[in-house]
Structure 1
Amino acid sequence: MDESIEAMEPELVESGVVDPPEKNSAPLLRPGSMVMMSLTVADYEMHYWPKLQGAIDQLLTLKPGGYISISYEQMYSCVYKCVCKQFSERLYKDLLNHIEQHVCHLAEQLSNSMQDSRHFVETFAFTMNQYLQALAGIVPIFNYMNRFYVENKLKTDLNEELRKIFRSHVVDSQITKLLNLVDEASCQPFAISPPTMASLIQNLFNLNAEYVHLKPGLFSRYIPNVLPPTSANQMDAYIAEVKQMQSDIHKMQGFNSNFDGSRKRSFEEDVSIN
């Protein structure tokens, strides 16, 4: 078994994405016998790709922080055999097509949630987080194909290609609307939970750092050093921004500062000291 790929298995097991290999379970293929075994189109379509497709679907639908039972050894064996038997191109195309179908379905679901702004933002954040988590399990499974076909022959990277599918089908068509809604929600404290907001902006930045140019101020609240250093002539503008924010908070319905010029708490009574 390829040592560099075998070494990645403990990381997947430790992260809870896959099961550790069972001591008494035999791998799908024995590495020493792979060269001698043949692989027909029927074998690929009826046995190898369906096993990989099932693992992909489990990872794509896994809730963030969840756990599923996948034999990494079997998945590796499938990919290894397909690559060794000249099915790299077919495997790569099938993988991308399957991921693209899933992403198109996600885009349709997001379109149906646009009526409620808050629901749309929260659904978008969850969907993107779930997809990126899935890639953390899918890409290592196909690492052998990535090294010997995608990187070597196509001169690209599997992880980047799968991220590109999500950007083109989901993010790019909604990014302007999404950032406007997030920017509006950020002016209303806790309209959307801070962890959701932070996760959303950080994942967008990781998908494409160029999104920063669409809303630099918004990204700067969650991503360090995305704006140029502050100069002295900008201080007046920042002071005015803080004052405006304080004014907006005081005007919010239900806001009560309980400030009467005294340091005494409102529930405290005067206590005489003899």
Structure 2
Amino acid sequence: MEESMEEEEGGSYDAMMDDQNHNNWETAVDGFRQPPPPPPSIPAPVREPPRGQLLAVPAVSVDRKGPKEGLPLGPPPPPEPNGVIMMLKSCDAAAAVAKAVPAPTPSSTININTSTSKFLMNVITIEDYKSTYWPKLDGAIDQLLTQSPGDYIPISYEQIYSCVYKCVCQQHSEQMYSDLIKKITNHLERVSKELQASPPDLYIERFNIALGQYMGALQSIVPLFIYMNKFYIETKLNRDLKDDLIKLFTEHVAEKHIYSLMPLLLEAQSTPFQVTPSTMANIVKGLYTLRPEWVQMAPALFSKFIPNILPPAVESELSEYAAQDQKLQRELIQNGFMRGDQSRKRAGDELAYNSSSACASSRGYR
């Protein structure tokens, strides 16, 4: 009885184990079986994120102590029956994310740094202005102030113009204007001292040279400093550079010599051709440009070179004008200026001229 029971228990136990092994084997075989291929379908297009936004990527938790050797950084994915297909899907999604989010290019960062460095390198400090830029302007101004008419100056007007432009852009206009005024003032003071040491017979001629040289230099200096004039002198000082520089010559040269110069000019006027007409014209016109009220010192002198200085002529003073013209003709003859050859004048011309003049005079007095 006990043996039969043991045999039945042993047989039932073996049968149970066989059934369990059979079931486990079928399960394992089902796991390795490949499912039928899915029906073909059109994959949905991957939607790219709008510009300026990044796709949300799930964060991966990492142990602070660091990963251990041979272990992955994150938890393994749960087992799925179709593991091969899920792996392909995950790879496709990662590729889509990589394609949708472009990696930042290093060229943009380099360009920003380069432009910033260039901007910083172009900054002109006050030390740079005093040591580099103003010495170039100082040398050019010296050559312009001391050049003779018609001389060639070996300077680069483009370089000087560029220096002025850069200094104005770097907010050095006030310092540059101050240096320019100081430079020209010192030059004019030296000119004034040289004129004071001149003898009377050379005084008029040297004053004419100093005046013409300075006015000629202004024709080059003012255009070179046009940016400073436009963005500093006209805007902040409400003045003009040319007017300021002409005023400097008036204050430091002309005002100091006008009372010594005017008597010499009147004396030269009384003696024809003691001074060349071109020299007299240049000085008289220059003095009128510097200060028009100086006309009151010698109206007759200024009226010979500048129109509309004297009041209009009146009929009662015609005889006086004629007397002045006759006096000038006699002085010219006394100084060796003879009238031209009268032999080619036709007979009767002199008589006709005299009779017509007499008729005109008589009509004028009626």
Give TM-score, length-normalised by structure 2.
0.58
Shift in Å at residue 61 of structure 1?
Answer: 0.5
Are 1:222 and 2:305 counterparts?
Answer: yes
Change (3 A) 1:226 1:67: farther
Instruction: State whether residues 202 and 223 of structure 1, in contact with CA within 8 Å, keep that contact through their aligned partners in structure 2.
Output: yes
Do the aligned residues in 1 keep the contact of 2:332 with 2:338 (CA within 8 Å)?
no
Matching residue of 2:286: 203
Tell me the residue number matched to 1:21: none
CA RMSD of aligned residues (A): 2.3
Among all aligned residue pairs of Structure 1 and Structure 2, give the percentage whose two residues are the same amino acid.
44
- 1:47-73 Cα offsets, whole Å, 9 max, x none, are 100000111000000102222122121
What is the Cα deviation at residue 187 of structure 1?
A: 2.0
Who is 1:75 aligned against? 160
**1:179 corresponds to which residue?**
262
Query: CA 1:178–1:144 in 2, change beyond 3 Å: closer, same or farther?
Result: same
CA distance in 1, matches of 2:245, 2:119: 28
Structure 2 residue 180 is matched with structure 1 residue 95: yes
Q: Which stretch has the larger CA shift, 178-187 or 153-162?
A: 178-187
- The amino acid across from 1:39 in the alignment is I
C-alpha distance in 2 between matches for 1:44 and 1:37: 12
CA contact under 8 A between 2:164 and 2:228: conserved in structure 1? yes
C-alpha contact 1:35 1:84 (8 A) present in aligned 2: no
Are 1:191 and 2:277 counterparts? no
Structure 1 residues 258 and 129: alpha-carbon distance in aligned structure 2, compared to 1, 3 A threshold: closer
Q: Please list, as runs of the form range in 1=range in 2, the aligned pairs for 1:19-38 lying within 5 A after superposition.
A: 37-38=122-123
Partner of 2:49: none
Distance 1:236 1:204, change over 3 A: same
Kindly name which structure, 1 or 2, has the bigger radius of gyration based on alpha carbons. Answer: 2
8 Å Cα contact 2:146/2:213 also seen in 1:
yes
Q: 1:85 aligns to what?
A: 170
Tell me, yes or no, if the aligned pair for 1:34 and 1:81 is still in contact at 8 Å.
no
- Could you report, residue by residue, the CA deviation over 1:52-107 in whole angstroms, capped at 9, with x for unpaired residues? 01110000001022221221211111111111111111000000000000000000
Cα deviations by residue, 1:193-213 (Å, 9 ceiling, x for unpaired) = 122112222222222222222
In the alignment, is the contact (CA less than 8 A) between 1:118 and 1:192 conserved in 2? no
Matched with 1:243 is 326
Question: Counterpart of 2:237 in 1: which secondary structure?
Answer: coil
Q: Which amino acid is 1:161 matched to?
A: D
Structure 2 vs 1, CA of residues 34 and 83 (structure 1 numbering), >3 Å: closer, same or farther? Answer: farther
Inter-partner Cα distance in structure 1 for 2:138 and 2:265: 35
Q: 3-state SS of the aligned residue for 1:186? A: helix
Displacement after TM superposition at 1:34 (Å): 7.6
Letter paired with 1:70: I
Once the two structures are superposed, residues 121-163 of structure 1 have per-residue CA deviations (whole angstroms, 9 ceiling, x without a partner) of 0000011000000010001000100000001100011101011
Q: Does 2:320 correspond to 1:212?
A: no
Could you say what secondary structure the match of 2:236 adopts? coil
Q: Which residue type is aligned with residue 153 of structure 2?
A: I
Q: How many pairs are equivalent?
A: 227
Q: What is the letter of the counterpart of residue 124 of structure 1?
A: F
Q: Distance in 1 between matches of 2:303 and 2:120?
A: 53
Change (3 A) 1:206 1:128: same
Query: Is the partner of 2:313 in helix, strand or coil?
Result: coil
Q: State yes or no: 1:232 paired with 2:291.
A: no
Deviation at residue 249 of structure 1 after TM alignment: 4.4
The within-5 A match list for 1:108-127 is: 108-113=193-198, 115=199, 117-127=200-210
| Structure 1 residue 247: Cα displacement | 4.3
Structure 2: where are the runs of 5+ without partners?
Answer: 1-117, 345-366
TM (norm. structure 1) is: 0.76
Distance in 2 between the 1:139 and 1:148 partners? 14
Amino acid at match of 2:251: S
CA distance in 2 between partners of 1:237 and 1:226 (Å)? 18
Structure of higher RCO (CA pairs closer than 8 Å, 6+ residues apart): 1
Letter in 2 for 1:66: D
- Unpaired segments ≥5 residues, structure 1: 1-32, 266-274
- Are residue 55 (structure 1) and residue 140 (structure 2) matched? yes
